[in-house]
A and B are shown apart, each in its own frame.
Chain A
Amino acid sequence: MIQDTVTEDLLLRQPKFIAYLFATVLVCFLIFDPSQSIIGHLLEPALGEPDKSGLYGRFVTSFMLAVLMVLNLLAISLIPNFRLQVISVWIELLILFLSFFYSFDLSFEFIRSKIWFMVTQGIFTTLYVSAISIVIASFIAIIGAVAKMSSNGFAYAIASFYTSFFRGLPLLMQVYLIYLGFPQIGYVIDAVPAGIIALSLCYGAYMTEIFRAGIMSIDAGQWEGSRALGFKFSLIMRKIILPQSIPLIIPPTGNQFIAMLKDSSLVSVIGVWELMFLARTLGNKTFNHMEMLITAAMLYWMMTMVLELIQSRIERKYQKRQSR
């Protein structure tokens, strides 16, 4: 997006807007009734016991929260620097989430005893299953995209049937179908290969469309220019069209990889020891379910953030190359 050079007045500088905002927030809090929450307990000396404070308690706690929230918004809007603003909002949201998790009364001792195994076994498996699958899916996608654009009815039929089928079935069902279906025709397949096949086929179907769009967005003149020089189809594809579509294909493919990283949790149902499987099983014996789930959630999130970082690096590299 291209920013305008003239910025409008900040809404938070208009008293009317602040009043509306305050009223809305207050109503929301009144509906949710925060009188039993931490703030209710903090105000216990003034309001008496939270569950007996009634409508008065409900209003006072809501009012306090609404004031805090609007003041906080005003404070953040006063930060002049964009970066600092972003960082402080991030930190606030993080604190909110962490205090939410903290309220579960987690056993950090238990998390500490299991986390190393979750990283070495769980993250490792999740990453390698996803990485192999995305590579296979990319190959499927190139072939699928070319077939979908081909004038050969046979190729088009197979490609469109494939994308329709694998986009139309829930991934979980595909995992089951491959793991439990193959033995029916006499071919017993291990859990990990079955998971990789399911993920590759499913994401290959989605990525076929991404690759097709990337290839289609290259100007027709590139095809004509290459044909006029006597290039054959495969040469045009490899040397002229794909190199130019890759910068367009990379952002959505990175997105797919991030999505796959988390969808790989579905292969836990067939017993692949990846992150989700460990999160469900490790806490079972001692009823520490929440600990393991939250740990796994944090690990998934961290992996995703690293991947997002890598993706933006790659994108920037291609942008630089284009502007040369």
Chain B
Amino acid sequence: MSKTNQKVKQPIISIKEMNKYYGDFHALTNIDLEVNIGERIVICGPSGSGKSTLIRCLNRLEAHQSGSVNVNGVELHQHMKDIDKVRSEVGMVFQHFNLFPHMTVLENCTAGPMWVNKVPPVEAHEIAMRYLERVNIPEQADKYPAQLSGGQQQRVAIARSLCMNPKVMLFDEPTSALDPEMVAEVLDTMTDLAQSGMTMIVVTHEMGFAKQVADRVIFMDEGKIVEANEPIAFFENPQSQRTKKFLSQVLVH
């Protein structure tokens, strides 16, 4: 499954020598990572290893203290003027969905296009319905998020991000807060999205998804990238002891 070889290697995200601290705590150490257009990356690792922090640095929900983060040709730093533009081009799906509870599903989806991209309401409505159909819940458009199941809410969250027509999609443990029977519907939506050629960076514990979809699997521990490899090599022939230990723990069941 060497899908990467067929693609033009053109980095959309490049991180160099990036360090992040929370006070004295060194959360991310010397991160180097390039993500090419169309590439699917899965980041895994034990809790507290910095996986979420890493992808939250990519749309600057978190600040890094040294090194460089370049997204879609724009360098992210504290005094940048156009962070909103970068964020509008980088979709993000959260563990707890973060839908707007006072707005209907449809309003959640039209808000971004209308308020940020100044799309006229009729057109925004069309965009929203197109993506709600794509995640298979157009019939829930007029409901409020609280009326939907967890899996449906997460699919709305994915649709909401897609409405902005993003160049990259970040997923921060999208299935961790879901009941077991709802994990599949969200993973199916993500697999579908991957097949359409979207550039994706996914933090997840779903190793089946990683094997099936990822071009590259990254293993992190204690704020460092320990190992990065194509999925077959990563799962069948892990190099470091820590990766082996982690995989033996998550692949038992």
Which residues of A does B touch, CB under 8 Å? 219, 221-222, 224-232, 235, 239-240, 243-244, 324
Do A230 and B116 contact each other (CB < 8 Å), given the known contacts A221-B94, A324-B147? yes
Taking CB atoms and an 8 Å cut-off, the chain B residues in 205-237 that contact chain A are none
Produce 1/0 per residue, B157-185, CB < 8 A to A: 00011001000000000000000000000
Stretch in contact with the other chain, from B20-28, B64-72, B97-105, B122-130: B97-105
Contact of A228 among B85, B90, B146, B147 (CB under 8 A): B90
B86: chain A residues at CB < 8 Å are 230
CB atoms of B88 and A230 under 8 A apart = yes
A235 x B87 contact (CB < 8 A): no
- Excluding A225-B97, A231-B112, A243-B102, 12 further A-B contacts by CB distance (< 8 Å) are A219-B98, A221-B94, A221-B97, A224-B61, A227-B61, A228-B90, A228-B94, A230-B84, A231-B116, A232-B84, A240-B100, A244-B102
> Is B35 on the interface with A (CB-CB < 8 A)?
no
The reply to whether the CB of B91 lies closer than 8 angstroms to some CB of chain A is yes
Q: Return chain A residues, CB-CB under 8 Å to B164.
A: 229-230
Give Cα A232 to B82, complex, Å: 11
Does B201 reach chain A (CB closer than 8 Å)?
no
Interface centre among B61, B86, B115, B116 (most CB of A within 10 A): B115
Min CB–CB distance B183 → chain A (angstroms): 20
CB-CB under 8 A from A230, the residues of chain B are 84-89, 112, 116, 164
Contact residues in A for B146 (Cβ distance below 8 Å): 324
Q: Are B115 and A235 within 8 A (Cβ)?
A: yes
With contacts A227-B61, A230-B84, A230-B85 taken as known, whether A221 is within 8 angstroms of B98 at the C-beta atoms is yes
Q: Is B199 an interface residue (CB 8 A)?
A: no
- In the complex the two chains form, what is the Cα distance from A221 to B173 in whole Å? 14
A225 near B116 with CB under 8 A, answer: no
Name the CB-closest residue of B to A244: B102
For the complex of A and B, the 5 pairs showing the least CB-CB separation, nearest first, are: A230-B88, A225-B98, A228-B92, A221-B98, A230-B87
| Chain B hits for A221, CB < 8 A | 94, 96-98
Give the docked Cα–Cα distance between A221 and B172 (Å): 12
Contact A229 to B144, CB < 8 A, known contacts A221-B98, A222-B100:
no
Most chain B beta-carbon neighbours within 10 Å: one of A227, A228, A240, A243: A228
CA distance A17 to B87 in the complex (A): 68
Which residue of A is nearest B60, CB measured?
A227
A255 CB → nearest B CB, Å: 23
A229 to B, closest residue via Cβ? B112
Q: Establish whether residues A224 and B98, one from each chain, have CB atoms under 8 Å apart when the complex forms.
A: yes
Interface size grouping (class) on chain B: 20 to 34
Cβ distance A238 to chain B, nearest Cβ, rounded Å: 10
Q: List 24 A-B contacts (CB under 8 A).
A: A221-B97, A221-B98, A222-B100, A224-B92, A225-B98, A225-B100, A226-B100, A227-B59, A227-B87, A228-B87, A228-B90, A230-B84, A230-B86, A230-B88, A230-B89, A230-B112, A231-B115, A231-B116, A232-B84, A235-B115, A239-B115, A240-B100, A324-B144, A324-B146
Pick the contact of A225 from B99, B102, B144 — CB < 8 Å? B99
List chain B residues, Cβ under 8 A from A228: 59, 61, 87, 90-92, 94, 98, 161
Shortest Cβ distance from B90 into A: residue: A228
A247 to chain B, nearest CB (A): 9
Q: Is B111 an interface residue (CB 8 A)?
A: yes
Residue of chain B at shortest CB distance from A321: B102
Smallest distance from the beta carbon of B61 to chain A beta carbons, Å? 6
Q: B13-72: which residues lie under 8 A (CB-CB) from chain A?
A: 59, 61
- In the bound complex, do residue A229 and residue B101 qualify as a contact, i.e. CB atoms below 8 Å apart? no
A222 to B161, CA, bound (A): 14
Q: How far is the CB of B42 from chain A (nearest CB, A)?
A: 20
The answer to whether B88 touches A229, judged by C-beta atoms less than 8 angstroms apart, is yes
- Contact residues in A for B115 (Cβ distance below 8 Å): 231, 235, 239
Nearest chain-B residue to A235 (Cβ)?
B115
A232 to B144, CA, bound (A): 24
The distance in angstroms between the C-alpha atoms of A221 and B95, with both chains bound, is 10
Do A229 and B116 form a contact, CB below 8 Å, given A222-B100, A239-B111?
yes
A225 touches B94 (CB 8 A): yes
List chain B residues, Cβ under 8 A from A324. Answer: 144, 146-147
CB distance from B147 to the nearest CB of A (A): 7
- Which residues from B are CB-within-8-Å of A243? 102
Known contacts A224-B94, A240-B100, A244-B101; is-contact A231 B61 (Cβ 8 Å): no
Q: What is the distance, in angstroms, from B40's C-beta to the closest C-beta of chain A? A: 20
In the bound complex, how far is the Cα of B87 from the Cα of A324, in angstroms?
31
Contacts of A232 in B (CB 8 A): 84
Smallest Cβ-Cβ distance to B59: which chain A residue = A228
Question: Of A229, A231, A232, A239, which is in contact with the most chain B CB atoms at under 10 Å from its CB?
Answer: A229
- Interfacial chain A residues near B112, Cβ < 8 Å: 229-231
CB contact under 8 A between A229 and B111, given known A222-B98, A240-B100: yes
The residue among A231, A235, A243 with the most chain B CB atoms within 10 A of its own CB is A231
Closest to B143 in A: A324
Chain B residues contacting A244 (CB-CB under 8 Å) are: 100-102
Contacts of B87 in A (CB 8 A): 227-230
Q: In the complex, which residues of chain A have a beta carbon less than 8 angstroms from the beta carbon of B100?
A: 222, 225-226, 240, 244
Give complex CA distance A221, B99 in Å: 9
